[in-house]
Amino acid sequence: MKLEDLTTKCKSTWCPGCGNFGLWGAFKNAAVSQNWDNTNTCLVAGIGCHGHILNFTKITSVEGLHGRAIPVATGIKLANNKLNVFVFTGDGDCLAEGGNHFIHACRRNHNLTIIVHNNALFSLTTGQTCPTTPLGEKTKSTPSGNLDYPIHPVTLAIASGATFVARAFASDLPKLQEIIIAANAHDGLSVVDVLQPCPTLNKDYTNQFFRENCYQLGPDHDVKNKVQAFAKSLEWGLKQIPLGILYQEEKPSYESAIIQIKEKPLIESSTNRNMEELFKKYV
């Protein structure tokens, strides 16, 4: 497999300097190195700037409604548990309208890889506050400053029961690629929070800000220690943003506990049925 195999006819519509480019590049490098293609992988996204990644990556994909990427992915995984399923979701998509789905997917430990494009705004809709926007931030929807306290996706993921939780920076492609591969190799719910500059709308979280204030977790960080991981997930500030794998736990995935799909995926068990009569009921 080569990078060109993932190219589609669509031209990128992201703004120059957008962090989505780094995320996309890291994912494609990971896909080439791991042979993720139409035969074994499916991509799902929500609605937002992040969702365009599906248009530019030639792997079978489904774009859900805004906030509903995770339930679509859950359905795909249950229908065919042999498929490698990635969810590309915005911080707004998965923590605001999709917040409920995020919590319960983590709690159930579905075998999904969730990649959060975290730009601390609703960007496609031109820059309103979302659940990761800092307190006091002046945005299009909060001209006098944001009154809501932000939440970090990694904190919510650990608290909700995700079994692999990591954070990476969109402009550090090699590290991000490494983390995406590790997250996908994990058997259970993986969340990768990707800090992503949005140079058009977010003038605070720039490439320079992340380069100056992020640090890599070292060998003294015990990824199996949930309390330590939770404490790290709350760190945020100048020179104080941890990157790397925060938490990892071995626990049976939701899919592995379903006896009906132990031997073969649901799609191989179901017989071809004529659905015409059933559909007529809804016309």
Residues that bind ligand TPP (CB under 6 A): 46-50, 65-67, 90-93, 97, 117, 119, 121-125, 130
| CB of 263 vs ligand TPP, minimal distance in Å | 38
Which partner, ligand TPP, ligand SF4, none, binds residue 247 by CB below 5 to 8 Å per kind? Answer: none
Residues 38-67 that bind ligand SF4 (CB under 6 A): 49
3-state secondary structure (DSSP) of residue 17? coil
Which partner, ligand TPP, ligand SF4, none, binds residue 125 by CB below 5 to 8 Å per kind? Answer: ligand TPP
Helix crossing, 226-234 with 153-160: angle to 10°?
Answer: 160
| CB of 197 vs ligand TPP, minimal distance in Å | 12
Which of 119, 133, 163, 253 is close enough to bind ligand SF4 by CB under 6 A?
119
In this structure, what are the phi and psi dihedrals at residue 117, rounded to the nearest 5 degrees? Answer: -85, 100
CB atoms < 10 A from the CB of 237, how many? 7
Which partner, ligand SF4, ligand TPP, none, binds residue 37 by CB below 5 to 8 Å per kind? Answer: none
149-171 burial: b if 16+ Cβ within 10 Å, else e? ebebbbbbbbbbbbbbbbbbbbb
**In whole angstroms, what is the distance from residue 105 CA to residue 76 CA?**
13
Which of 123, 132, 155, 184 is close enough to bind ligand SF4 by CB under 6 A?
123
Check if the beta carbon of residue 74 is closer than 8 Å to that of residue 40.
no
Which of 80, 200, 207, 228 is close enough to bind ligand SF4 by CB under 6 A?
200
Segment holding 85, helix H or strand E: strand 84-90
Which of 18, 154, 156, 223 is close enough to bind ligand SF4 by CB under 6 A?
18
Binding-site ranges for ligand SF4 (CB under 6 A): 14-15, 18, 20, 49, 119, 123, 198-201
